[in-house]
Structure 1
Amino acid sequence: MEKLTLGAEGELPIRIAEGIREAIVEGRLIVDERLPSEQELAETFGVSRPTVREALKRLAAQSLIRTQRGATGGAFVNRLSYDEAREQQVTTSTLLLSMNAVDFETACEARYALERACVPFAADRRGPDHLAAMRAEIFRQGQPGLSDEGFCASDVAFHRALVDAAGNPVLSYQLAGAVEAMQPLMNMITFSARSREWIVALHTAIADAVEVSDAPRAEAALAELSVYTVALARDIRAARQKRDGG
């Protein structure tokens, strides 16, 4: 961590946070290690204490550090859990999709390609809790009084259970953005025209195959769901263009 002498004042907290983050990633600052005091950091970086405080707030928002009060308090390197990182991944992916206007086909292609990578592991490692979670969502999706919002939420929960069944937290983290950010986007576009019965049938086929460890059959059902989703979106877009005289 070196003294910062360049850059606008507003950039300094960002650069300080990046410097501390780099030290954590490289292992120069380890989990549960106490960071230098605000005054010591201010002297190290050649900035004011409020600037350091703002940098620490940024790191805390990323769950990279935690603060404790009292005589033995201060800022400490946090042990970032996969669950915490997962939520950040979902938020970032959602922002990227909305801000960059990613087209439906691109999002769908990425989302299903990534999920298919989990299927062989899920078929081999699924536990009773994963199967129970998938079956519960299938049952929920079949209820006639379920709202569109409820069906969308259940759809996401079903696919999250399938991904988690792979038993690989790294894959679950990487797929969080694909499933939990892209799936709502796809749901918003297709919910008005899709067949709940057909989706429930495909979800059932996936769960049945995973339960008997038949990865090829589960992959085939997931691929069929992908084809159906893309075709549905194209039909909806064509109908809108025709309606609008495009």
Structure 2
Amino acid sequence: MLGGREGPGMVLNYDEVVRGGLARQIADTIRAAILDGRLKVDERLPTEEELARRFGISRPTVREALKRLAAQNLVQSRRGPTGGTFVARPDPAGLAETIATSATLLVGFGAFDIDQIVTARRETEAICCRLAAQHRTPGDLDRMRAEIATQETTGLSDEAFCASDVRFHRALVEAGRNGPLSLMMHAVIEAFIPITNLITFRLRDRREVAMYHRRIVAAVEARDGAAAEAALGALLDYLRAAHAAALAAREARAADKDHPRGP
């Protein structure tokens, strides 16, 4: 005790910090071996006991290191007589979902404002428009047109419209036939579009959105990347204006609540 209070050594668990540091180092060592190809996909790692002996550490520390790797989808455990810990086979869909979930959390916490989101969409999806114009197939056009038809359906719920909006832009991205770009765009499509719809759905006109979508498809069909990019820019300008109107309406309601008008 120091001056009637616990000193720093009594508050912090230094043993835990050391163990955590070792686990991170071991995880980083194994991760590097996976990424540079020394450990192959589906290759079985040594047992916890073997790893502990080779690294000169405890089994709980090895177990913590393997948990870190599993959280990064780099290794997976299998049960049974031939079980153990194996190098995981890459799962693009699972990785994309993880990226989208993380981006959604960041948006929910207010890490990005609407201007940043619209700018990100404008810059990244513009590339997708140009690639889609080069590589689209009749099937790509059919998928996008099917979503436009859904968006123009009378009585469609807001949730169904937003889901169709996401599917339309996902089809636009996939028409570009670029795997790395599709992976990167997953966060933009699956996280940014829903949050934009959540804010603007009361003030944006579905018919206007569908009209811009039709312009994008027409340009992609004509293999005119510049026109597709311009149509996308016009759509985002429209959504930015709808967002500004939504914020103004929200502020007006708050002002009326704080300062109600007399009879």
Aligned counterpart in structure 1 of residue 244 of structure 2, from 234, 237, 240: 234
Counterpart in 2 of 1:60? 70
What secondary structure is seen at the aligned counterpart in 2 of 1:199?
Answer: helix
Matching residue of 2:178: 168
Q: 1:18 aligns with which of 15, 23, 28?
A: 28
Q: Which runs of 5+ in 2 are unaligned?
A: 1-14, 257-263
The sequence identity of aligned pairs, in percent, is 48
Q: Residue type of the partner of 1:90?
A: A
Residues 84-233 of structure 1 correspond to what in structure 2 (within 5 A)?
84-233=94-243
TM-score (norm 1): 0.89
The structure 1 segments of at least 4 consecutive aligned residues displaced by more than 6 Å after TM superposition are: none
Q: Whole-Å Cα distance in 2 between the matches of residues 218 and 135 of structure 1?
A: 15
Q: Secondary structure at the match of 1:7?
A: helix
Give RMSD over aligned pairs: 2.2
What stretches of structure 1 of length at least 5 have no aligned partner?
none
Q: How far off is 1:11 after superposition?
A: 5.3
Distance 1:94 1:8 in 2: 33
Q: Name the CA shift for 1:143/1:12 in 2 (closer, same or farther; >3 Å).
A: farther
AA aligned to 1:38 is: E
> 1:82–1:169: 8 Å Cα contact kept in structure 2?
no
Which residue number corresponds to residue 3 of structure 2? none
Q: Aligned equivalents of 2:54 and 2:101: distance in 1?
A: 33
Rounded Cα–Cα distance in structure 1 between residues aligned with 2:194 and 2:28: 32
Q: CA deviation at 1:181?
A: 1.0
1:168-208 C-alpha deviation (Å, 9 max, x unpaired) = 01000111111211111111110111100000011111112
